[in-house]
Amino acid sequence: MSTVAQRALVSLVIATTFVTIAWLGGWWFFVPIVLLFGLAATEFSQIAKKLDLLVPIGLLLPGLGAHWLAVQVGRLQNETFFATAFVLLLWSLFRYERSGRQRAGHDLVMSLAALMLFGWFGGHLLKLRAYAPETGSEAWQWTVVAVCAIWMVDFFAYGVGKFIAGRGILGRHALSPRLSPNKSIEGLIGGTMLGSLLAVGIGVGLFDLPLTAVLMMTICVAILNPAGDLVISMFKRTAKVKDTGTLFPGHGGALDRVDSLLIGAPIAWYIHLLMQSIL
């Protein structure tokens, strides 16, 4: 099987699984997402290790779990986040005092970055699914639309950039030559158009959600979302790592699969709240 076919097949399996757990909600959604984010955080710690930075995964994962649980139940979110950050701070002080590690401050910054990315940013995906607006609209439908916009834009951008950009009248201009030279501006534009169209079709045509709200969410997610992928690409390129794992054939590891969610989920959440207050 070719890489493209393998990537498409894995994408289909992931999409089907996600829609199913989003529809089921509750712990059916919480547990798989937390496991996926936990694996991604572990892979992130391995990237840090290649940079001679220590991210204490044994402390980070329990703290992330406590924060994700707080997000799920809608209580003590700030408290669990602060407690985890404070524990990481104490850990870095202990490391410096005990061994005199000169990069203890760098370790702390990297650990706090992991907490921010996977805890605060990533937690918005759980928050979006747990949202129960008074209007009666279904949270699982908004979650599917948001993630569809995130992943479909990425999928179509890959297709346009690989098979169309640079051929015929359509040129090829690198979106970020240093961070991700394979991504093109043409791919982003094509992915935004096709991914948004599909997301709007699902949100409006299938779920009967308000057109204005769906359109605003999908366009904002499509345009701003690549920042998440590029942030992780920055870490990987600095550490000279291509893929963070092999969990998903054709896609890489857990971190390679959720990187776009880290930025896309908060954007979707805040645009959703904004549109709920306006409409």
Q: What pLDDT score was predicted for residue 163? A: 55
| Structure confidence at residue 279 (pLDDT) | 64
Rg (CA), the chain: 19
Q: Quick count: other Cβ atoms within 10 Å of Cβ 62? A: 12
User: What is the predicted pLDDT for the residue at 87?
Assistant: 96
Taking the chain (279 residues) in runs of 10, the rounded mean pLDDT of each run is: 64 82 89 94 93 93 95 90 96 87 88 94 90 62 86 69 54 62 69 80 86 86 78 84 68 80 88 79
Q: What is the pLDDT of residue 84?
A: 96
Distance CA 215, CA 17 (A): 24
pLDDT at 171: 52
42 close to 55: Cβ distance less than 8 angstroms: no
Which residues, 6 or more positions from 160, have their beta carbon under 8 angstroms from its beta carbon? 184, 186, 187, 189, 190, 191, 194
Tell me the pTM. 0.86
Predicted confidence at residue 249, as pLDDT, reads 60
Reduced 3-state DSSP string for the chain: CCHHHHHHHHHHHHHHHHHHHHHHCHHHHHHHHHHHHHHHHHHHHHHHHHCCCCCCHHHHHHHHHHHHHHHHHCCCHHHHHHHHHHHHHHHHHHHHHHHCCCCHHHHHHHHHHHHHHHHHHCHHHHHHHHCCCCCCCCHHHHHHHHHHHHHHHHHHHHHHHHHCCCCCCCCCCEEECCCEEEEEHHHHHHHHHHHHHHHHHHHHHHCCCCHHHHHHHHHHHHHHCHHHHHHHHHHHHHCCCCCCCCCECCCECHHHHHHHHHHHHHHHHHHHHHHHHHC
